[in-house]
Amino acid sequence: MKRVVVLISGRGSNLQALLRAARIERWRETLNADIVHVISNRPQAPGLAVAREAGVSTEVVDHRAFPSRAAFDAALATAIEAHAPFLVVLAGFMRVLTRDFVQRFNGRLINIHPSLLPAFPGLATHRQALAAGVRFHGATVHFVSVELDGGPIIGQAVVPVRLDDTEESLAARVLQAEHRLLPTCVRLLLEGRVRLQADRVAADVDVAQQLALAAL
């Protein structure tokens, strides 16, 4: 079975979208895949309850308990490897990972970021988009690389920016797009139709077309 481990730090809405897709699309039967474990670096993350309600095992690796970023990443990597993952999904995981960690999971570590990368990496992406006056914003799923938010792009969802948008209203619409984007990209990876090859994304399918179908 292709085992998926999800890392979270907060409410777990993207985790919930993944769990919903796994259930509705019957990943276990159709893809021989399943979400097997959820890890949070924050003990009080609401997403842990989301996982438990879905019958998925959970674990906390609290970054505050470690003397350095490297020590935390080493413990996190050990916790992940215990579940022999095919894929590790950062779904709102708010930690910058070290080079050793990223290289250890190279090609099977993906992240969802709330902007159309390479525009607006880092934090406060909706504020950055509004300040820049862009007319389109969105979300990106990408392979994680050593460069922050700079890994090869798997797929993107575009959201128009309205003239009356606030950070809150724009964030809400981007989040809806994320909930379609992330499960679609994960499914394509599990199917083997998208993969990392020589530091570039190789695909046997039109990812944009698959995202359009998911939005119907």
Q: How far is CA 70 from the centre of its chain?
A: 21
113 as an active site residue: the answer is yes
Q: Which of 37, 113, 137, 179 is catalytic?
A: 113
pTM: 0.95
The span from the CA of 21 to the CA of 23, in Å, is 5
pLDDT recorded at residue 215? 65
CB distance 141 to 214 below 8 Å: no
Strands (E), the chain: 2-8, 33-40, 57-60, 87-90, 109-113, 136-143, 153-160, 194-197, 200-203
CA dihedral 45, 48, 128, 163 (to 10 degrees): -110
pLDDT recorded at residue 62? 98
pLDDT tens string, the chain, 216 residues long: the values are 999 999 999 999 999 999 999 999 999 999 999 999 999 999 999 999 999 999 999 999 999 999 999 999 999 999 999 999 999 999 999 999 999 999 999 999 999 999 999 999 999 999 999 999 999 999 999 999 999 999 999 999 999 999 999 999 999 999 999 999 999 999 999 999 999 999 999 988 888 788 777 665
The span from the CA of 170 to the CA of 105, in Å, is 32
Set out the domains of the chain in order of their start, with CATH numbers. Answer: 1-105 (3.40.50.170), 114-216 (3.40.50.170)
Instruction: Choose among 88, 62, 85: nearest CA to 75.
Output: 62
pLDDT recorded at residue 210? 81
Instruction: Choose among 66, 103, 75: nearest CA to 7.
Output: 75
